[in-house]
Chains A and B, each alone.
Chain A
Amino acid sequence: MTDHGVSSLTLSAQHLSREYSHTIAVHDVTLQLRQGEILGLLGPNGAGKSTTMHMLTGNLAPNSGRIEICGIDLLDNPKSAKAHLGYLPEIPPLYMEMTVDEFLIFVAKLHRIHKKSIVQAVECCKRRCGLMDRGRQLIGTLSKGLQQRVGIAQAIIHEPDVIILDEPTAGLDPNQVREMRQLIRALSQSCSIVLSTHILSEVENLCDRVLIMNKGCIVLDQALADLQQKGTDLETVFIRLTQI
């Protein structure tokens, strides 16, 4: 690998393994993410996607392996590493009793954004997520689609280098799904994204590279362009690899 290749790595996970009471949830997972890349993480339910994401975001400690975010070790130096990370879990972590502005200001402070820059950061992420006229509305009164946008806004407010999105389009109507995909595509201009989903067409539409997990292991890690060049259909590959 060239020096240039190493420097453009934003996320690197090496040989991650995790057990839950003698059940192996994730085994020897290695993945890398480059600047501006969208990585699609696919796999059947129980394949270990969520466990992997929990490990990548510091919510779960791996039994073995190491994770680096922008070259900073997540286990040795969690605070600095997490500063480069934005995470939207499957269920957006929102305080329903707060207004959108209050919530985003709280998240901005959590991410140590300088006091003078907070208003600007909140306005900027609201604009990117289409929440400009929702600032004073209580999060609990927003529709599911808008709550999902607030979830994304909290993940990007500190302009992280890596964004991890766990099923960001689940439960949205077709229009909202389209808008969400546009938003994800726009976000990839400035950072790299790990996108976990069950929707294969979403990966084909958005991602540069696809990673398929089955029974805790990675069974495919390939650029989508390569797959398309070979004339292989993603659905066929997915079914073949996950029915083992």
Chain B
Amino acid sequence: MMIGTIVSKELRSLFVSPLAWFLLVLMQVVLTWVFLGRLDAYLHVQPQLQQIANPPGFTEIIVTPVFAMAALLLLMIIPLLAMRLLAEERKNRTLILLISAPVSITEIVLGKFLGVMLFIAGVMILIVMLSMTLSAGGTMDSGLLISNVLGLFLVTCCFVALGLFISSLTMQPIIAALGTLGVLLCFWVLDILDSGQGSWIHYFSLLKHFKQFNSGLLDSFSIAYLVLFTLFFIALAIRRLDGDRLHR
């Protein structure tokens, strides 16, 4: 119940600030632009595709790039949403209100995480609705769509969890945002370091795991990695906040 109270407060705070609305509009404009661009490209190549024996479907050509772009946009947007979560509460001295109330640190952190995730869920519903408009013109590859939705959702959980943790480290929201963006970019592009044999560092790349979902592959290793990544950083945020009380 306490988590629900914090979730609804977080959502409310998001929607009373112009930032969330601005980011929502920005995402919709960019994604719709990508969507229409891909649709246009598909219509151009459609006659040639019909001559291929096993042509890619329109879901693969149009929807997949939209989700890839959405992941990239969320990577840049989530640091701005997550920076407020704990850093701003610290800066405004309001965190003390939550900590003095009969609420556990776990409830505070989970409430904040779920609050942002609910906002992101709204964004994802808009992306799915955008993709579903294609079903008016043919049969969609629902498996590919589900895999993309799941991948985007899991990778977003990682972004928010990391943002929440970095937000717990500082009382400067801007530092939290830049820190989150920097670390996320590092995790995103780790697969560049894939030097071939014996290399293991690319396994930590969020992009590598997202690509699996993006191409329609539900890999249990990727699911496990993204879930563990999220849980790890949520646990670190709880520990960090509790540490404030113990080791300050």
Residues of A that sit less than 8 Å from B by CB:
20, 57-61, 78-80, 82-83, 85, 87, 89, 91, 93-98, 102, 106-107, 109-112, 154
The answer to whether A94 and B5 touch across the interface, beta carbons within 8 angstroms, is: no
Interface of B is mostly: helix
Is the Cβ of B93 less than 8 Å from the Cβ of A97?
Answer: no
B103 and A95 contacting across the interface, CB-CB below 8 Å? no
- CB atoms of B245 and A111 under 8 A apart: no
Q: CB-defined interface of B97-120 with A at 8 Å, one 1/0 digit per residue? A: 111111110000000000000000
Shortest A168–chain B CB gap in Å is 15
Query: 5 A-B residue contacts at CB 8 Å?
Result: A59-B100, A87-B96, A89-B96, A95-B13, A110-B2
Q: Is A97 within 8 A of B97, CB to CB? A: no
Contact between chains at B103 and A110 (CB < 8 Å): yes
The 5 residue pairs across chains A and B that have the minimum distance between CB atoms: A93-B97, A110-B101, A109-B5, A82-B102, A79-B102
Known A-B contacts A97-B17, A110-B2; the reply to A59 vs B96 at CB < 8 A is yes
Asked if B52 lies at the interface with its beta carbon under 8 angstroms from chain A, I say no
Residue from A78, A83, A154 within 8 A of B97 (CB atoms): A154
List of A residues within 8 angstroms of B2 by Cβ? 110, 112
Partner of B93, one of A79, A91, A109: A91
Q: Is the CB of A107 within 8 A of B101?
A: yes
* Docked CA distance A139–B97 (Å): 15
B16 CB to closest chain A CB (Å) equals 5
Contact of A60 with B101 at beta-carbon distance under 8 Å, contacts A89-B96, A91-B93, A112-B1 already known:
no
With both chains docked as a complex, state the minimum distance between the C-beta of B61 and any C-beta of chain A, in angstroms.
Answer: 44
A59 and B245 CA atoms in complex are apart in Å by 6
Residues of A within 8 A of B93 (CB): 89, 91, 93
A62 CB to closest chain B CB (Å) equals: 10
Give Cα distance in the complex from A90 to B248, angstroms: 19
Instruction: Decide yes or no whether B94 CB sits under 8 A from chain A.
Output: yes
B17 touches A82 (CB 8 A): no
Q: Beyond the given A59-B99, A110-B102, please list 7 additional residue pairs across the A-B interface where CB-CB is below 8 A.
A: A57-B100, A61-B246, A79-B102, A80-B102, A110-B2, A112-B102, A154-B97
In this complex, what residue of B is CB-closest to A108?
Answer: B5
B residues whose Cβ falls under 8 Å from a Cβ of A: 1-2, 5, 9, 12-13, 16-17, 92-104, 245-246, 248
Most buried by A among B1, B9, B95, B246: B9
Compute how far the CA of A228 lies from the CA of B94 in the bound complex, rounded to whole angstroms.
40
Given A79-B103, A83-B102, A107-B101, answer yes or no on A60-B245 (Cβ-Cβ < 8 Å). Answer: yes
The answer to whether A79 and B104 touch across the interface, beta carbons within 8 angstroms, is: yes
Q: How far is the CB of A22 from chain B (nearest CB, A)?
A: 13
A102 to B8, CA, bound (A): 12
Q: Which residues of A contact B104 (CB under 8 A)?
A: 78-79
Which of B12, B100, B245 neighbours the largest number of chain A CB atoms within 10 Å of its CB? B100
B100 and A85 within 8 A (CB): yes
- How far is B245's CA from A61's CA once the two chains are assembled, in angstroms? 6
**Whole-angstrom distance from the CB of A136 to the nearest CB of chain B?**
14
* B94, chain A: closest CB distance, angstroms: 4
CB distance from A20 to the nearest CB of B (A): 7
Residue of A nearest to B108 (CB): A110
Beta-carbon nearest neighbor of B105 in chain A: A78
B101 near A111 with CB under 8 A, answer yes
A109 to B102, CA, bound (A): 10
Contact A111 B102 (CB under 8 A): yes
Chain B residues near A107 (CB-CB < 8 A): 97, 101
Q: Are B5 and A110 in contact (CB under 8 A)?
A: yes
Given contacts A59-B245, A106-B9, A112-B1, contact A93 B17 (CB under 8 A): no
Given B13, B101, B246, B248, which contacts A97 in the complex, CB threshold below 8 Å?
B13
In the complex with contacts A97-B16, A110-B103, A20-B97 CB distance below 8 A: no
Whole-angstrom CA separation of A83 from B104 in the bound complex:
12
**A154→B94 CA distance, assembly (Å):** 12
Q: Are A95 and B94 in contact (CB under 8 A)?
A: yes
What is the CB-to-nearest-CB distance from A230 to chain B, in angstroms, rounded to a whole number? 37
* Complex: chain B residue closest to A89, CB-CB: B96
In the complex, what residue of chain B is closest to A95 when comparing beta carbons? B94
Q: In the complex, what distance in Å separates the CA atom of A85 from the CA atom of B103? A: 12
B95: which A residues are within 8 A, CB to CB? 93
Report the Cα distance A112→B2, complex, angstroms.
8
